[in-house]
Each structure stands twice: as C-alpha cells, then as structure tokens.
Amino acid sequence: MLDQAAINQLRDTPVSDRGHFINGQFVTAQDGKTLDVLSPIDGKVFTRVASGSVDDVEQAVAAARIAFEDGRWSAAAPAERKKVLLKLAELIEREALALAVLGVRDNGTEINMAFKAEALSAAGTFRYYAEALDKVYGEIAPTAKNVLGLVHKAPVGVVGAIVPWNFPLMIGAWKLAPALAMGNSVVLKPAESASLSLLRIAELASEAGLPDGVLNVVTGPGAVVGEALALSMEVDILVFTGSGATGRRLLEYSARSNLKRCYLELGGKSPNIVFNDAADLAKAAKVSAAGIFRNSGQVCVAGSRLLVQEDIHDDFVAALCKEAEALKVGDPLDLSSQIGAVHSLPQLEAHLRFVATAESEGAERRTGGTRILEETGGYYMAPTVMTRVKPTDSIAQTEVFGPVLAVTSFKDEEDAIRIANSTDYGLAAGVWTADLGRAHRMIKAVRSGVIHVNTYGGADMTVPLGGMKQSGNGHDKSLHALGKYVDLKTAWIQL
C-alpha cells in the first residue's frame, strides 16, 4: 500500500546534477554541457543532466568494448551472472518507491501506475532473465556419420540501447536484462527528458556487482548521442523503442556504418473493436477508457482507435464519455489522481493541434480536447473523445501519443477488419465479443503483434511484445527476446 506522506517526502528530496555513467562511475560531459530537467508536474527545473557529445559516446563504447573483450562479464559463468542480476532485482525492489517518485518527477506518469509498471516491473524483468539465463543451451545437430555438429549461442558484443521517456525503467529493463543475461556489454541512451531513474539503475547495477564498463549510460539529445551510438563501428546491435521517423534514421545509420542489427519497436495506432454481442458493455467502456487515457495516453499499445458496431455506437460512446469525464486528472504524485501529466509542453501543444485538425476534417469533439490545470505550471490535458472519425482522417492514421481517442463506427466483422488494418501500424489491438469463433477469426485477421480479447492492456513477462508492419521488428519480453542478443556459432567437427 503506497503512503502519501512517504511520497511527499521523496517529492521534496533535492536531486543533484547527474553526469554520464561510464566505466563504473559518474563523469561530466567532456565539453561540460548540461541539460535542464523540467518536471511536467509544475514546469519547473529541478536538476540537470550531462548533455552528451560524440566524444562521450566513444568513451562509453570503448569502455563497453574493453569490458566485453576481456571477458569480465561475457566469459563469466552463468551462475555468476545470475547472482548479480538477482541482486540488482533485489536492490531495485528495495528502492522501488524512491525510483518511482524520481521517475514521476521526470516524466509525469501517475504514481499508482509508475510504482507497479516502472519500478516493480523492472525488478521483475531482471529477476525473470536472471532465472532464465542458465537454462539457455546450445544444440547438437543431427549430422552425417562421423561428424559432430554443435550450435553455440554466444554473446554478440556491445549493445546500443535507446529508450523513450514514457516508461524509461520498464522499457529500459526490457532491453538491459536480456542483453546482460546473455553476457553482452551495453551503452544505454535514455530520453534526454527522462534519464534520472536509469542513471540510478546503472548505479545500483554496480552496487550489485556488475563489473565496471559492462553497463554505461550516456545522456543527451538523440540527434547527437543517439546518432553517434547508431553510427559507431564498435556497436554490434542497436535496440530502440520510439518513433518511426527515428527508427528509419537508425536503419540508415546502420547501413552507413557496420551493418549492425537493428531491432525497432515503433509505436502504433491500435484498434480496440467493440461488437454488439460483447458480454459486458459497461466493462468494455470502462476498460477502453483506461486503455487510452492511462499515463495520459502516452503508451505505445494504447487503444487509440475505438471501433464500435453501428447499432450500439451512440450508447457505447455515451458510456465511454461518462467514464472519461469521471477520471481525475491531476498531480501525478497525488495518490488520488488517476491520470497524471503530459510529458512536456511541446507534447501537449501537439495533442491540441491534433484535436483542431480532426475537427477541421469533420470529427466531433464529444469531451475534453483542452489544456487544464494551467495554473499549476504543469502540462495537463482533459481526456478527449472524438467521434465521426473517418478511417482516412489524420487522427485515425497518425500516432498522437496522448489522451485522444478517435471513434469510428463499423457495420460488420468484415468492415471492422478492413478498418482495423487500414493504417501503417500493427502493434496492438483489442476485440470485445462473446462469440468465441469470432474472437479467433479476429485474432487471425487483425494484423497486430498483440491482440487483447475482452480486455485491453496488461501482459506479463511470459509473452513477447513486438509489432507488425511499420510498428517494428523483433520482440521485447519473454524468452524470445534472448535471441536478439546472441550469435549462433556452428562448430562442424570431423570425428
């Protein structure tokens, strides 16, 4: 049970300026540059982080390469790696509330969600891969007589990881834990506007016994730090969660450098489809509201397109708007707030422009669509429902990444499938129906990496997360994620 007094005490704790974490210690940027860290809670600067340069990235990559080549981690016994990662999970769990509050001050996620989805999730992720790593075996191939074919799974080398600001701890752990479990070294680039909790994770990893140089964190603008990491000839794999535009640039940088493998999770415009035979429409409305408005819609799998069958459309939208209007938007460090802050002022302004554009294209604003609580200095937006949205409208095709829901009606199952698949994205989807046959048909027909049936959101570490179409490639989570961080090496032995 979270305690408001403890949260308030942590809220007021000063946060010292932070440098990069390279080779086991914090260091200032080589050119001395820093970035102000603004809290979306009140719009005020509360600390600074180092603003990285190409030289800083090269220093971090060199440390990671040396650590990998000398075997201090890559050649460590699986039992040793397991021990360190389990200790790290324990330290994260012990410090979960402080990490969650620090992250909320940085990115605005409501504390009830941040505590579970950020700190506790990260601890669980490190524990999951710690337990998995010593169960990864090589193979003996069925070969010709007098020949032994062995398939070894070897760590790849230096992993460059670039993670976004919406769930830095959770998504950071999805990259770091399997990469480290398989014996790789890592250079992590957090979002410049949400770096603090991941810098602390690097510090805790060192405390847990991770050797110096195995995990390095370089903060700063993506156009500098991210580009340098992607262009580095010494980075073997690049893993990224973020926008499609940035993902395309990373692929270009790979081609221009050493053809490093790139695994990209690029967001979505996920359809949440409600049929007239759904068993509990009131539950569907409540869960659908949470599926788009939690974390102010700043969730890659958010159900940002709502497809409702024609004959229940009006009643369902009325119920949904009622749920949206009942949600309490406010200070994300207040336990009574159900929705926190939009991450930044530019992000909020972009959301408002999407609403205005949608109205100009013929959509109807049913609720929300405005900035609220402006007197706090923070960045807050009322949950927004837009109806009469055509499948071709910009708000139905473009990822808003905010608390804005686009509602479209459909006639029948075939129409729902057509509309659901009409975007470039394919990350997640939802289906509400009491017809088991229809549920299976929709699972097969809707092109998405994840599909929820009679629920929306939520899935543990046992299942993979990845997209289809322009939502990216590769998978985070589950045992499937381990394959990104190993090379298969064949030994062909004449007996």
| Positions marked active-site | 265
Rounded to a whole number of angstroms, the distance between the first and last alpha carbons of the chain is 63
User: Contact, 261 vs 416, CB < 8 A?
Assistant: no
- Residue pair 405/306 in contact by the 8 Å Cβ criterion: yes
CA separation for the pair 96, 294 (Å, rounded): 20
Write the burial class of residue 5 (CB in 10 Å: 0-12 exposed, 13-18 middle, 19+ buried).
Answer: exposed
- Residue of 151, 109, 179 lying closest to 339 (CA atoms): 109
Q: Are 363 and 372 in contact, with CB atoms under 8 Å apart?
A: no
The residue with tokens 């080779």 is 23
Taking only Cα atoms into account, the Rg of the chain, rounded to an integer number of angstroms, comes to 23
Give which of 121, 93, 91, 114 is closest to 11, Cα–Cα: 114
Rounded distance between C-alpha atoms, residue 192 and residue 172, angstroms = 14
